[in-house]
Amino acid sequence: MSSSNKLKISLQEILSATNGFAEANIVGIGGYGRVYRGESRQHGDLAVKRLILSPHGQGEHEYGMEVSLLSKYKHENLVSLIGFCGDNGEKILVYKYEPNGSLDKALRRKDLSWMRRLEICVGAATGLRYLHNETGSGHGVIHRDIKSSNILLDENWNAKISDFGLSKIALTNSADSVVFTIPCGTRGYVDPQILNGGITQKSDVYSFGVVLYEVLFSKLVANPEFLSDNCFTINIAKKHYKEKTLHMMIDPDLRNEMDSKSLSTFSTIAYQCLKERTDDRPTMSLVVEALEKALYYEQRSKLPRAMQGSLWADFQINEEPQSEFDALEVETLFRATTIPKKDTTEGGRRSSELGKVYLVDWRRANSTESMLMNVKMPLPNMIDIRYIWSLHREEQVVVVHGSWMF
């Protein structure tokens, strides 16, 4: 813990931020204790987790693991640990407050679109991939308690994995590296194979597959003995997937938003995560790739119909860019090709009224698709198709514009 000393926060500061742990400030209650919302002049909006320790010291290990991991590993899809406090026998963890709460609660919202759900899943999967493979330490982190209530959402709906108290360090970052430990976690999400001895990264993959079906069904997983219309079991999810009747479990309004390829790609990777044999489950790297592909299909479906056809027929989300101009080159080329505003021809629409634009010489790209890969913006916000076709046909220059570029 000595390396984390700079994260220590005094109990007095926490009491001031939470108004003395006032009940009005409680935003969450669990077996671990309570979470309070607080406000600090130095740190801004806070989420303060005040742990309840058992007489036998249970909770000490979880507290230490949380501080150890989050003070060492930083990623945009992990919660931000601001500090901790051990004064007067307290065990308190202080995080950045995430205003959109946890995913389990967000799933109840009718306005949580399929596009946004996909973006949340990609973010959470990316955070988990980081823990498994990308910490740069030569070993991996197995979370052991992946569930929708442990995925928080910031003001922009970016996913943040939280609650690392049960996490374990694997000796290598291999998906096959086994850690032998007492089985634990949350029923419904726990990999059934852990009862056969040991956990691996694939145990997290199983739990994440459960979360994916929760996102798809807008319902939480349940134990069979407590089954109701507001929840589902893993066997039910698998049954509907195999019988191609998933539509029966999806809210009709949400289903109407979905591109069929997006749904198929998403549900397939979710099903693969729940395979009984751990060796048959994908790695988190493969999960991220599949979810990004599902998101791409959904983005493409929102483009004008003309762009969904011939223009994007061979477009691949992982295609490497063929050529790219930096911002200065773009501005220079734009000025060089601008036609006076008084000109009313098709080309005249390239005047500065477009705002910031992106131009690519058609002769330096193998295809429109590979050229557009350079733009790096969400597809639905990308372009007016008239500029693409008229310009690359007539002058071999393509303009892609968006008000927020550069």
**Which residues are tagged catalytic?**
145
Instruction: Describe the strand order of the beta sheet including 33-40 as a list of residue ranges.
Output: 26-30, 33-40, 44-51, 92-96, 81-85
User: CA of 62: how far to CAs of 93, 208, 225, in Å?
Assistant: 11, 21, 30
158 phi and psi angles, rounded to 5 deg: -75, 135
261 phi and psi angles, rounded to 5 deg: -70, -35
How is residue 312 annotated by DSSP? G
How is residue 140 annotated by DSSP? E
CB 121 within 8 A of CB 291: yes
Per DSSP, the three-state class of 11 is helix
CB 362 within 8 A of CB 371: yes
Place of tokens 């026998």: 89
C-alpha to C-alpha distance for 18 and 15, rounded to whole angstroms: 5
How is residue 364 annotated by DSSP? G
Helix 201-217 and helix 234-242, axial crossing angle in degrees, nearest 10: 70
CB 58 within 8 A of CB 67: no
Closest C-alpha to 312, from 373, 257, 361, 269: 373
| Residue 339 CA from chain centroid, whole number | 43
49 is in an annotated binding site: yes
Q: What's at 359, amino acid-wise?
A: L
Place of tokens 């926490």: 14
How is residue 391 annotated by DSSP? H
Retrieve residue 145's tokens. 């308690």
Residues annotated in the binding site, as ranges? 49
* Numbered residues of the known binding site for ATP: 49
